[in-house]
Structure 1
Amino acid sequence: MENKEDAENSVTYEDVHIDFIEDEWILLNPSQKSLYKVVILETYRNLTALGYSWKDHNFEEHCQNARKHGR
């Protein structure tokens, strides 16, 4: 069971996720877009390895939207 201090120090997907709107995404240069992809994928893998539950998140839809906008 997680104690109060652990819960307060927990990191969630919402804490680290950044969802650019299309106008913002266009302003990023290719290296920034690449870094975003690497960081989000690493975050996903790390949270999954820690047992994070994705049932309340549509990560697949997020990835599809990212591909649609050239992310």
Structure 2
Amino acid sequence: MTKTVVAKRDDPKYAQVSGYIPKKLALKFKANCTMQETDQSEALERAITLWLEEINQEREKETTSTSKSSGK
């Protein structure tokens, strides 16, 4: 049985994101991906996941402190 590998760009489970960042940051990002032998998509996925986790933790802290201060 042969398994077909679908490129991420053709995989409906993936979506493309883009944005503009300072050129120096982009160059550092690309260089470090190359040095670490990491795919840029994988590095972005990890960075976004960490960022979202950080935001969720901040929201939980705000919710906890709000409910404590309101006596709930």
TM-score bucket of the superposed structures, by smaller chain: 0.3 to 0.5
Q: TM-score, normalised by structure 2?
A: 0.35
Instruction: Give the structure-1-normalised TM-score.
Output: 0.36
Larger of the two Rg values belongs to structure: 2
